[in-house]
Each structure stands twice: as C-alpha cells, then as structure tokens.
Amino acid sequence: MTVDLSVTIGNLKLANPVMPASGTFGYGQEYAGLIDLNDLGAIVSKAVSPAPRPGNKPPRMVELKGALLNSIGLQNPGIEGFIEKKIPFLRQFKPPVVVNVVGNSIEEYRQVVEALDAIDRVDGFEINLSCPNVQKGLEFGTTVDGVAR
C-alpha cells in the first residue's frame, strides 16, 4: 500500500510536506552529500537580496545553556550570483524550489521576485519580513496592511 503525502500550496504541488526551513539548508548544495534532495517536498533556499551581502562579521553564533543564538546577517550571493551559481545546481533535482526573498524596501522585494520569477527553476517565494537584521523590513512586516503592500 502506498500513501499519498502530496500537498498543494496555492498553485504549487509538492510530493510531500517535508522541506527545510529557510536559512537552515543553505541553497541545497551544502546537504546534497548527506540526503537525497529528490526526497524533499521542496527545496527552500537561504535569503536572496538584490545585491550580494557579506553578512555579519564573526562571531556569528554564541552558545548558551540549552540554546544557540545566531546573527548571520543574511549573507547571500544576490540575484545575479544566485542565478549564476545556485540555479544550475538546483536544476538537477525534481522538487520545487522556493526562494526566501529579503530586501530593505518593498521595491527591493519586488526586484528580487520579478527577476527570479522569470527563471524556470524558481517555483515559489517565501517573503522574509521578520528578520531582525533588516530594520526597514521590520517597518512594513509588523502590520497586516504593511505586509499586504
């Protein structure tokens, strides 16, 4: 007997609901030697911003009793780097690719989505409105009206 674990989110059909949380899985390459990425329901990327970001200077992580506190700073290759360096790798796998989008303004979010929406291997977007590393993101990510814009 086989069990159908498929789920549909909007127009996106997933073979199963298992996917990594954004920011914990890199862009897939980092874990490809550990698991079969084709077993995932989707591959969810780290953040992508309009331009590359170097992230925060070390130390980026602090171990606490029973916890780990991090402040990576949204390090990412930017739109062009993501398209040139990450998309070719992701094309070899079946699961949909969901890109975590970050920016300093609504216009920057729009810029990332419009650029990546044209890429045949990007299947969905996760809009990162809650990261404390982005002051302006918090300005419009804290109210329903702000998010709707």
Q: Provide the β-strand partners of residue 100.
A: 47, 126
DSSP classification of residue 105? S
Measured distance CA(138)–CA(143) in Å, rounded: 9
CB 35 within 8 A of CB 93: no
Cα–chain-centroid distance for residue 148?
20
Q: Provide the β-strand partners of residue 43.
A: 97
Tokens 């329901």 belong to: 41
Which of 131, 133, 138, 139 is labelled catalytic? 131
Q: For residue 92, what are the CA distances in angstroms to 29, 30, 95?
A: 11, 15, 10
Q: Which one, of 131, 142, 56, 135, lies nearest residue 101 by Cα?
A: 131
In the residue annotation, 141 being an active-site residue is answered as: no
User: Any idea which residues carry the catalytic annotation?
Assistant: 131
